[in-house]
Amino acid sequence: MNSFTSDTGEHPVAVARVAERQWHAVADDRVVGRGDTSRRPDGRIFVSIDAWHGAVFDQLAEAMLADLPKPLYTLVDETDLDLTSHWEQAGFTTGRREWEYLVPTDPQVTGLGSAPPPSDVTIVGLGEAQEGPLRELDRVIRDEVEATVGWQEMPAEVLPLPEGVTVLDPSKYAVAAQSDGYVGLLRVAPVIRQPRIGLIAVRSDQHRRGIARALLAHVLGSLHSRGIETASAEVNESNEAAMALFEGIGARRVSSNLELVLR
């Protein structure tokens, strides 16, 4: 167990690694800060720190970075200048920006009421997809992403999953189906009052056929019928196609997150 002691001016602070992925800062027998890590399915390690005092944050960062292999990543609200500054003092730099969109669900607003899928494609609603074909499509899409832009360009907020598992809960997916299998998917996290669209992806040989719009039309329409007025979505600012898709249906940017990296 690695540890060191410093002083914030009130009580000496000791920082120690208390588990494989967790660090504590302790002063006067109280935990005054916590740090932890999570590993994304793509293998990248994300770090986070929760501390009341900037000095404690800096001490936790120093201890964690001394223990962990590089590169390391973290995610911050771009408007949180204080937090961003602390990470930058620890050596992190901006890797990319993600825009947070507020997405209307009303077909009269989105214009998606007349966005049917291609004639050879059927939309299978949330919770109705078959697990086997869904996992197969997920693997195909991940391989395609890795072979082009890389999975690191996908949204940063991806829940850590058991090794080898990429689809944790099939009930959160709607899919586009052809007679021989699934060709597109949309994942929705059922956050209370405002569901989050976590991922929209279409197999590369099916691009530019309106499948993504049809998936959005189906899912947003079903949310609207349940009385949900808006959903949220995060889009990497370099993904111009996704930004055009959301802005084309009336979605508006409400905030942005920065993915910071230490190499």
Residue 52 is assigned to a structural domain of this protein = yes
Whether 107 and 159 map to the same domain: the answer is yes
* 11: containing domain: 3-97
Q: What value does the mean pLDDT take over residues 18-27?
A: 96
Residue 179 has pLDDT above 80, yes or no: yes
Average of per-residue pLDDT values in the chain: 89
The domain boundary, picked from 78, 97, 116, lies at 97
**Would you state the pLDDT for residue 159?**
47
Specify the number of domains making up the chain: 2
- E-state strands within 105-251: 122-124, 173-178, 181-189, 196-202, 230-236
**Would you state the pLDDT for residue 5?**
46
Beta bridge partners of 231: 103
Give the range among 98-102, 167-171, 197-201 with minimum mean pLDDT. Answer: 167-171
pLDDT band at 198; cut points 50, 70, 90: confident
Bigger pLDDT: 147 vs 104:
104
Q: At what angle do helices 54-67 and 81-89 cross, to 10 degrees?
A: 40
**Virtual torsion, Cα 75, 162, 152, 193, nearest 10 deg:** -50
Whether 74 and 135 map to the same domain: the answer is no
**Would you state the pLDDT for residue 164?**
55
Residue 233 is assigned to a structural domain of this protein = yes
Residue 262 is assigned to a structural domain of this protein = no
Whether 19 and 71 map to the same domain: the answer is yes
Alpha-carbon distance 7 to 32, whole Å? Answer: 12
Write the pLDDT tens digit of every residue in 36-83: 999 886 789 999 999 989 999 999 999 999 999 999 999 999 999 999
Whether 240 and 176 map to the same domain: the answer is yes
The domain boundary, picked from 45, 71, 97, lies at 97
Q: Spell out a b/e string for 46-66, using b for 16 or more CB atoms within 10 Å of the CB, else e.
A: bbebebebebbbbbbbebbbe
Residue 214 has pLDDT above 80, yes or no: yes
- E-state strands within the chain: 3-7, 12-19, 22-27, 30-39, 45-51, 72-77, 93-104, 122-124, 173-178, 181-189, 196-202, 230-236, 252-262
Alpha-carbon distance 14 to 29, whole Å? Answer: 10
- With beta carbons less than 8 A apart as the criterion, state whether 96 and 88 touch: no
Whether 83 and 114 map to the same domain: the answer is no
Q: What value does the mean pLDDT take over residues 232-258?
A: 93
